[in-house]
Structure formats: structure tokens, C-alpha cells
Amino acid sequence: MKRGAPTLIACATLLLVAGCGSSSRSSTSPAGGASPAASSTSSGRLKASTTPKFATPPKSAPVQSGTVKIAYRNITIAPDTVKVKLGSTIVWTNYDPVEHNATSHSGPSSFASKNFGEGKSFSVTLTRPGVIHYLCTIHPTTMNGAIEVVS
């Protein structure tokens, strides 16, 4: 029993450092949103995927406008998908003790913040309609999202 606790702590630390874990996805996200995936290698060992899986806001999502807030908390994004009106400003705020960033991956608008620490924010005003996929390049498998900009 003496080896159980240290082993458990070591395993949990490895998972945290690797950026793995469950994601607190909003209930409006489709299943399979941006959770990490695993695949087997030829040696039979599991290999974690580092490729983000972007969700898209559901058609029934409400359209927000003005300033729309997105929280970076527990190495996840809340909400991970939003639908906003053209001209809205998105504000990402970091509530984690580690640095994050917000970087567009695809879509009609491009942006890339510098890394920002706990209590800091990054904002961008969106002026082109379409779906923007974005991520934190430090934690891409658990921290990626989508913004649908509508007219």
C-alpha cells in the first residue's frame, strides 16, 4: 500500500504534463468535440494524438453580440464554441496558473496572441463572416474552439 499513492501521483503528474485529460466541453458541443484521441502503434503501445479536433457551433446556438467572453480554465475553454454577430469582440481571459494563447487555425480571420498568464486577457474584433477555428498552441488537444461569425 505504501507504493500505491506515489505511483498514482506520478501517473497523474505525467498525464497533466502531457496535456491529456478530459475536457469541460459545453453541453451544446457535438460529441467528440475536441477531446484527445489515442491510437495504437506497431509495437502495440498507445500513442496520444496531438491533432486538435475542432467542434462547430450547433445551428441552434444563440447569436451573441457586443463583447463575448471566453474563459481559459483548467486547461480547457468555456464555452468552446460560440456564434456571434459580425463586429463582436471576443475576449479570452486566462484563469489558469499557466500561460495560454489564442491563435486562429483556419477561417476568414487571422489572429495570434502572445502567451498570457493568469488574470490576463486577449481580445479581437471579428469583421468577416464564417467559422474560425482557434487553439492555444501550448495545449492544442484540450484547448481548441470555434467561433461562427454571422451577419
Q: State the CATH number of the domain containing residue 109.
A: 2.60.40.420
Half-sphere exposure of 50 (CA within 13 A, CB side): 6
- Residue 100's pLDDT is what? 98
Using CB atoms within 10 Å of the CB of residue 24, give its burial: 0 to 12 exposed, 13 to 18 middle, 19+ buried. Answer: middle
What is d(CA 106, CA 119) in angstroms, rounded to the nearest whole number? 27
Whole-model pTM: value is: 0.68
DSSP 8-state code for residue 77? E
For residue 88, what are the domain limits? 4-150
The tally of domains found in the chain comes to: 1
pLDDT digits (tens), the chain, 151 positions? 455 655 555 545 544 445 544 343 433 333 334 334 444 445 567 665 667 778 888 889 999 999 999 999 999 999 999 999 999 999 999 999 999 999 999 999 999 999 999 999 999 999 999 999 999 999 999 999 999 999 9
The separation between the first and the last C-alpha atoms of the chain, rounded to the nearest angstrom, is 61
Whether residue 110 contacts residue 124, with contact meaning beta carbons closer than 8 Å, is answered with no
What's the rounded Cα separation, in Å, for the pair 56 and 148? 8
